[in-house]
Structure 1
Amino acid sequence: MAKRIEISTKRHELYLIDGLTGLFVQKVYPIAVGKMLTPTPEGTFKIINKDPNPGGAYGAMWMGLDKPTYGIHGTNDPSSIGKNTSHGCIRMNNDDVLELSSMVPIGTVVRIHKWRIF
């Protein structure tokens, strides 16, 4: 079955969902999201590329979205997880983003919203 990613910016959580129509939550990860001046965009996107070891602020992995300049990536500042601190991207702990990237292919649907989980 295909997987999708649901992101709740208010809960600071990323949910890996198994199945396009199912609600089986395979994994939940803590995340950081955009700050007030550079919020994380809401909507439905797709992962279009992966770049292991991009370095610097992007940590151990970059997964680019089809919204230019936005992505899901690791961080060199793990204390930022759980906060509104990014320039709009989704930050994850490096171990978490490596695990997630190994489970989702390019083309995976990513839905970002404030309150709703599904």
Structure 2
Amino acid sequence: MDFRMSVPSLMAANPGLKPNQIIAGTTIVIPGIRNPATIPYHVIIHLDQKILQLYHSGRLMKTYPIAVGKILTATPSGDFVVVNREPNPGGPFGAYWLSLSKLHYGIHGTNNPLSIGKAVSKGCVRMYNQDVVELASIIPNGTRVSIRS
């Protein structure tokens, strides 16, 4: 996973841990990101249905329509977390950007609302601007995001 921070920042948050000790499966503290297990929210994205579902404590709160990656630039399946965010990122990213722990991928708004419901992106998940702003106001960094086929 990529948490978009320097090794010195990670080392400062994890005293006694050496850079060569950080391997897959190592539990570490990520500054500014809560432990995903302590967050009651969970986002599940269904690529085939082109929907994003927001859960709170295991109960479905809301379902949003989305756009996903096209065949040559498919949205990756897997389990990720929201690692950072940016309101009004500009360009094609619409009103909000929620960065995922997979480098270069995120959930964002769009300047092309007609794309929602289609497989047209370069791999990111697009939402209507009002929907992504609502989602960003609810979920904190560290929220689990499961992307399924």
- When normalised by structure 2's length, the TM-score is 0.74
* CA drift at 1:56: 1.0
- Equivalent residue, structure 2, for 1:57: 92
- Equivalent residue, structure 1, for 2:54: 16
Pairing 1:22-101 to 2, within 5 Å after superposition: 22=58, 24-101=59-136
* CA drift at 1:94: 0.1
* CA drift at 1:41: 0.1
Aligned length: 111
* CA drift at 1:45: 0.1
Q: Does 1:111 align with 2:111?
A: no
- Equivalent residue, structure 1, for 2:32: none
Identity %: 51
| Higher relative contact order, chain-length normalized (CA < 8 Å, sep 6+) | 1
Pick the structure with more strand per residue.
1
SS in structure 1 of the partner of residue 136 of structure 2: helix
Q: Distance in 2 between matches of 1:111 and 1:76?
A: 25
Q: Name the aligned partner's letter for residue 17 of structure 1.
A: Y
* CA drift at 1:90: 0.2
Q: Does 1:2 align with 2:37?
A: no
Report the structure number with the largest CA radius of gyration. Answer: 2
Q: Distance in 1 between matches of 2:130 and 2:75?
A: 22
- Equivalent residue, structure 1, for 2:8: none
Unaligned runs of 5+ in 1: none
Q: Name the aligned partner's letter for residue 28 of structure 1.
A: T
Unaligned runs of 5+ in 2: 1-38
* CA drift at 1:105: 0.1
Q: Distance in 2 between matches of 1:10 and 1:103?
A: 25
Q: Distance in 1 between matches of 2:40 and 2:70?
A: 31
Q: Name the aligned partner's letter for residue 57 of structure 1.
A: P
Where has structure 1 moved over 3 Å in runs of 4 or more?
A: none
